[in-house]
C-alpha cells in the first residue's frame, strides 16, 4: 500500500484545516484537488502538514556537493520538539524527490524501500 493511501488523506485534511496559515501559490482549491490524486507527490506544504498530523519534528537535509556531508535545509513542526529523540528526517535530492533518512550510530543513511 502506498504512502499516499495510508497517510495522504490526513495530510490533505490538515492542509484544509490550516488553509489560512500556509501560502499556496495560485488557487488553493485547485492545489488541493491536484494533491489528492494518488500519483501526485507532495512538497514543502505537505511536509509541514505531515509534522502536524504526526505531532513530530521533521527535518529536511540535502547533500553538500563540495563536502559530501548532510546539511539541514528546513525544519518543520518545531513546536513538537519534546519528541526530539524520534524526529523524522528526509533527504531532498534537489529535483522534487525526498527519501526517508534513518539514524545510525555514526550519522544517517537513506532507507531503501
- What is the reported pLDDT for 81? 78
Give the whole-angstrom CA distance, residue 82 versus residue 44.
Answer: 22
pLDDT, one tens digit per residue, over 51-70 is 999 999 999 999 998 998 89
Which of residues 102 and 84 earns the better pLDDT score? 102
Give me the sign of the Cα torsion angle 94, 51, 27, 42: positive
Q: Extract long-range pairs of 48-51: CB within 8 Å, 24+ residues apart.
A: 48/22, 48/76, 48/77, 49/11, 49/12, 49/14, 49/15, 49/18, 49/22, 50/7, 50/11, 50/14, 50/76, 50/88, 51/76, 51/77, 51/80, 51/88
Residue 35, pLDDT above cutoff 50 = yes
3-state SS, residue 102: strand
pLDDT for the residue numbered 109: 56
Q: Is residue 1 scored above 50 in pLDDT?
A: no
Q: Where do the structural domains in the chain lie, given as residue ranges?
A: 1-54, 56-113
Q: How confident is residue 42, by pLDDT bands cut at 50, 70 and 90?
A: confident
Judge whether residue 94 has pLDDT over 50: yes
Q: Please determine, for residue 76, whether its predicted confidence score (pLDDT) is greater than 80.
A: yes
What pLDDT is recorded for position 36?
86
Average pLDDT over the chain reads: 82
Amino acid at each position: 500500500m502506498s504512502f499516499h493511501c495510508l497517510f495522504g488523506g490526513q495530510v490533505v485534511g490538515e492542509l484544509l484545516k490550516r488553509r489560512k496559515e500556509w501560502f499556496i501559490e495560485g488557487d488553493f482549491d485547485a492545489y488541493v484537488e491536484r494533491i489528492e490524486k494518488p500519483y501526485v507527490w507532495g512538497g514543502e506544504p505537505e511536509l509541514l502538514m505531515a509534522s502536524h498530523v504526526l505531532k513530530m519534528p521533521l527535518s529536511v537535509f540535502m547533500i553538500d556537493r563540495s563536502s559530501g556531508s548532510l546539511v539541514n535545509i528546513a525544519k518543520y513542526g518545531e513546536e513538537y520538539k519534546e519528541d526530539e529523540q524520534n524526529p523524522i528526517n528526509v533527504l531532498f535530492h534537489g529535483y522534487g524527490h525526498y527519501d526517508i533518512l534513518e539514524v545510525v550510530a555514526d550519522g544517517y543513511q537513506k532507507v531503501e524501500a
